[in-house]
Amino acid sequence: MSLEWKLKRSNQDIMNIIVNILETRMGDPRMSFVTITSVDISPDMRNAKVYYSIYSLTDEEKEQAKTVFENARGFIQKEFSSRIKIKFTPKLNFIYDDSPEQVDYLNRLFKRLNDERRPEQD
């Protein structure tokens, strides 16, 4: 089994476990806005970067969800450690991922540009 394949599979396994923890063990409704976007485990499998985004209507809700998520890191790490089936339990490093917001912004920008150009074509 190649290292690249092993890391890719481990990334997916870690992501599935964390998503399951968020869905089944976290009771805070603000966590429903949190989405795990990707996981990147180090080649030595001792550290994993867990990227997350928060979909919310307001900046206040987003900040509340971010705070709850960051405060739950220890709990998530403990739950994760009890579920993962690899030699070493990687340390989870949670990183906020704003790429979905950037994609949304670009989509709105392109739509506006397209709408502005449309009357000229008629």
**pTM, to two decimals:** 0.75
What's the number of domains the chain is made of? Answer: 1
pLDDT tens per residue across span 21-31: 988 988 888 77
Packing angle, helices 73-83 and 59-71, rounded to 10: 50
Q: What order of strands is seen across the sheet that includes strand 91-96?
A: 34-41, 47-54, 91-96
pLDDT beyond 60 at 45: yes
CA distance 115 to 26: 42
- CATH code at 101? 3.30.300.20
Domain residue limits at 17 = 3-121
What is the band of 76 on the pLDDT scale with cuts at 50, 70, 90? very high
